[in-house]
Amino acid sequence: MKYDILIVDDEKEIRDIISSFISEHMNCNIVTAVDGQDALKIALSKEFDLIITDHRMPILTGAQFFIKMRETPGPNKYSPVIFLSAFIDEAKIGTECLEDVYFMDKVNYVNKLIPYVTMILGQ
């Protein structure tokens, strides 16, 4: 199965690293967004099997994007989301009680990411 994954981070280098790493290990289509507002626009128009987002970003934080996406009728209202951030405690405020939301610290995330993603996708 080929998965559709949205990666959201305001740092291009991080987006590229995550995209490249996931593409090397999984059969997937990767779409990227540069901030929460960009992500919301994309997520309201295309369904994703998984969304991976940073928290601290301009315009809309990852948490603001996630909450707006869940509150708005659309194809990703119930899609699983991983917050991949150095600010997990902030990201959890208002989001941790929602379904299919996961949190991963950006410190040394590369070796943990693929097992985490495959667990969430049920591979």
So what's the pLDDT on residue 116? Answer: 85
User: Average pLDDT of the chain?
Assistant: 89
Which residue's entry shows tokens 């949205």?
A: 6
So what's the pLDDT on residue 100? Answer: 77
So what's the pLDDT on residue 29? Answer: 97
Helices (H), 53-109: 62-71, 88-92
One CATH from 3.40.50.2300, 3.40.50.1980, 3.10.105.10, 3.30.429.10 for 3-121:
3.40.50.2300
**pLDDT tens profile 75-120:** 999 999 998 887 767 777 666 666 777 888 887 777 788 888 988 8
Q: Would you kindly state where each structural domain of the chain is located, as residue ranges?
A: 3-121
So what's the pLDDT on residue 94? Answer: 67
**Quick one: which of 51, 58, 46 has its CA closest to 11?**
58
Which residue's entry shows tokens 């080929």?
A: 2
What φ, ψ does residue 81 adopt, rounded to 5°? -130, 130
So what's the pLDDT on residue 123? Answer: 59
For residue 65, name the pLDDT band (cuts at 50, 70, 90): very high
58 pLDDT more than 70: yes
